[in-house]
């Protein structure tokens, strides 16, 4: 009887801990969903299929993307290439994304690691740390931007034509255009995630940098990727200071 009583007590404690953990995570998400202000949050996740610590971060950012709804929360997943030498080549990886992460490490005077999330170019944290990520989103959404960005994308003769407008003081800022695949699934055959089927969200397939054109409206063109599908891809634009990495504005567009 005593043994059964102890087992029952342990079971109750485990259920209580699980419930409290669920409530805690829900309250974190609810806090940023209720954030007031006209701000935004750009979440740049540096990840890799070769990293066994990355799938939880990928899952967290995918859930945040779904929960954001109409909130100006922009998730961008960059697959770095420095894990490729350890047994599995990530098909979405690109040396340019690794360099972008190294650039942030110089701004933050910190280490390069995966999974890492950079929020609005202002702060960074472990990509699977929900509390830190949620806090960053709340701060971003509660801020008061001094720069505005609108963007429209349309397919024209093998290219994607971009019409954009930037308002406010942009100094020497640049316009970054991320071509994003919303979802993909990979079966990993080697490396730390060998045998796993991984789900990816908001994969950056191409990243372009332009000097901002002053004036009411401006245009740029980028090539259409080979496997592009307008229903399953989107464009995310950012206005960023190349001297410190701070992102002053962001906007999203479907491709018409």
| pLDDT given at position 110 | 94
What CATH number does residue 184 fall under? 2.60.40.2060
Is 227 part of a structural domain of the chain? yes
Q: Using an 8 Å Cβ cutoff, are 238 and 247 in contact?
A: yes
> If we measure between CA atoms, which residue out of 85, 50, 46 comes closest to residue 194?
50
Residue 236 has pLDDT above 90, yes or no: yes
pLDDT greater than 80 at residue 53? yes
Examine residue 103 and state whether it is found in any structural domain, yes or no: yes
pLDDT of residue 157: 86
Residue 22 has pLDDT above 50, yes or no: no
Res 65: pLDDT: 95
Q: Give first-to-last CA distance, the chain, whole Å.
A: 69
Mean pLDDT, all residues of the chain: 89
* Mean pLDDT (whole number) for 132-154: 95
Residue 23 falls inside a structural domain:
no
Q: Which pTM was predicted?
A: 0.87
Contacts by 126-130 with C-beta closer than 8 Å and gap 24+?
126/57, 127/45, 127/46, 127/47, 127/54, 127/56, 127/57, 127/58, 127/60, 127/61, 128/53, 128/56, 128/57, 128/60, 130/25, 130/28, 130/60
Tell me which residue of 100, 8, 7, 98 sits closest to 50, measured CA to CA.
Answer: 98
Give a yes or no: residue 231 inside a domain.
yes
pLDDT of residue 16: 46
Task: Kindly state whether residue 51 falls inside one of the protein's structural domains.
Answer: yes
Q: Report if residue 17 sits inside a domain.
A: no
Asked whether residue 9 is domain-assigned, the answer is no
Overall domain count for the chain:
1
The residue segments making up the domain with residue 119 are 38-253
């Amino acid at each position: 009887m005593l043994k059964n009583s102890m087992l029952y007590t342990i079971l109750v404690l485990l259920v209580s801990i699980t419930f409290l953990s669920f409530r805690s995570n829900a309250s974190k998400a609810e806090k940023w969903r209720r954030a007031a202000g006209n701000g935004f949050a750009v979440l740049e996740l540096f990840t890799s299929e070769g990293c066994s610590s990355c799938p939880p971060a990928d899952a967290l950012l995918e859930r945040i993307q779904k929960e954001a709804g109409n909130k100006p929360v922009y998730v961008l997943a960059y697959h770095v290439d420095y894990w490729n030498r350890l047994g599995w080549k990530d098909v979405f990886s690109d040396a340019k994304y690794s360099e972008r992460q190294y650039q942030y490490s110089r701004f933050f005077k910190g280490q390069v690691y995966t999974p890492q999330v950079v929020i609005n170019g202002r702060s960074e944290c472990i990509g699977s740390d929900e509390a830190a990520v949620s806090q960053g989103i709340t701060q971003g959404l509660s801020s008061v931007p001094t720069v505005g960005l609108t963007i429209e994308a349309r397919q024209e003769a093998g290219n994607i034509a971009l019409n954009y407008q930037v308002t406010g003081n942009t100094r020497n800022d640049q316009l970054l255009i991320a071509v994003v695949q919303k979802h993909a699934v990979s079966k990993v055959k080697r490396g730390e995630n060998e045998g796993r089927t991984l789900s990816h969200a908001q994969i950056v397939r191409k990243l372009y940098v332009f000097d901002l054109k002053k004036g009411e409206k401006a245009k740029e063109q980028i090539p259409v990727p080979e496997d592009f599908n307008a229903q399953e891809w989107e464009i995310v634009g950012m206005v960023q200071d190349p001297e410190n990495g701070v992102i002053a504005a962001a906007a999203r567009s479907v491709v018409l």
